[in-house]
Amino acid sequence: MKRFLLTFFFILGIIMAIAIIFDISEQIDDLVENEAPLKGILWDYYKNFVLFYGNLFSPLLTFLAVIFFTAQLASRTEIVAILSGGISFRRLMWPYFISATILAAGSFYLNNYLVPKANQDRIEFESRYIHTYRRTLNQGVHKQISPGQMIYFDKFNSKSNIGYEFTLEEWDGIELKSKLFANYVKWDSTSQTWSLENYYLRTYEEDGERVEEGKQRDTTFAFTPKEFANRINDIQRMNVNELDDFIEEQRLKGDPNIPFYLIEKHTRNALPFSTYILTIIGVAMSSRKVRGGIGAHIAAGLALAVTYILAMKVSTVYATNAGLDPLYAAWIPNLLYGVLAIYLYSKAPK
């Protein structure tokens, strides 16, 4: 078990070192141009970079570690000797399962609590020093901000907090109660109010409709500019409890990105479980001594890892574009490869 865990962390260290080298070569121009401090690069960015990506790919790195470690044993005929000595293949699997449990438990904790906290610093650093060019103009914003309240912006600039061609509708069931138009709205962060320019309010009452219009008006609404931020990125900063609360809040507001949020939630739980499945597959694949030695096992393992990643991507696309339940999307790769794991386990040398 100790040797297996050491192999895992050795592979993790190599992969993360390579990833950092490639990332530095890609981001160096932005870091220099935006005068990013060295302490921030090392502590706020790359420390959290390793936490995020190391945890994200930990099941696949576990898989490679299992193949590398087990193939070494098989090439030295140690597995044959163990099985010939009367130890069953199931008994041989126990150290792997214990190691997988340690890694899966660590991944579950990182996914739901530690990594979201680390992502806050990483994403803020990226926004300040790397992705400063990202688009700030949202077009065609249309969403429900609370039950019965719908808003629309033709354009909203999230950098200046200015919206154009604004509409607010208030509904009571299927009955429209009021409709507010404004050519221009701007958020005042000091007073926490919205300033309307060239507004027109139409209120529908039992005895007819009432119209109010004017050049300028300061008022409050049940939303702030944060409502139009990149929520897909924001959910990476939330722990499991914050994510649950956020999903319920956005569901009430009719957020169209709910499937993305649910996939994030379910993937955090499905990913650690895949450590067990890939461990079984790795041991079953590499426990036989084959022509080509460790290289053949690693090549087969990499090919299988690619198909696993592809299955994850395909199921995610189906959930976001074809209406597949996000719970199924997160777990389908595990179910498919779970069946493969059972089959390979049944064919493993006994």
64 lies in a domain?
yes
* CATH number of the CATH domain containing 210: 2.30.30
For residue 138, pLDDT beyond 90: no
Same structural domain for residues 51 and 100? yes
Same structural domain for residues 259 and 122? yes
- 102 phi, psi to nearest 5 deg: -60, -45
Where does the pLDDT of residue 290 fall: very low under 50, low under 70, confident under 90, or very high at 90 and above? low
Same structural domain for residues 120 and 264? yes
Three-state secondary-structure class, residue 288 = coil
Name the token pair of 32: 């220099």
300 lies in a domain?
yes
24 lies in a domain?
yes
Domain that holds residue 315: 2-131+254-347
Instruction: Spell 212-237 as b/e; 16+ CB within 10 A means b.
Output: eeeeebeeebebebebbeeeeebbbb
331 lies in a domain?
yes
Looking at residues 52-72, what average pLDDT do you find? Answer: 90
The DSSP symbol for 17 reads: H
CA distance 87 to 111: 36
Where does the pLDDT of residue 134 fall: very low under 50, low under 70, confident under 90, or very high at 90 and above? low
Q: What is the pTM of this model?
A: 0.77
Looking at residues 33-58, what average pLDDT do you find? Answer: 92
| Nearest CA-CA partner of 262 in 308, 333, 309, 315 | 315
Distance of CA 195 to the CA centre of its chain: 36
Helices (H) and strands (E) in the chain, counts: 12, 6
Q: Identify the domain boundary among 228, 263, 284.
A: 228
CA distance 214 to 227: 26
150 lies in a domain?
no
- 335 phi, psi to nearest 5 deg: -65, -45
For residue 175, pLDDT beyond 80: yes
Same structural domain for residues 89 and 26? yes
Q: In what order do the strands lie in the sheet with 193-205?
A: 137-146, 149-157, 162-172, 175-188, 193-205, 208-219
CA distance 163 to 182: 9
Same structural domain for residues 72 and 164? no
Same structural domain for residues 29 and 117? yes
Looking at residues 147-176, what average pLDDT do you find? Answer: 86
Query: In total, how many domains does the chain have?
Result: 2
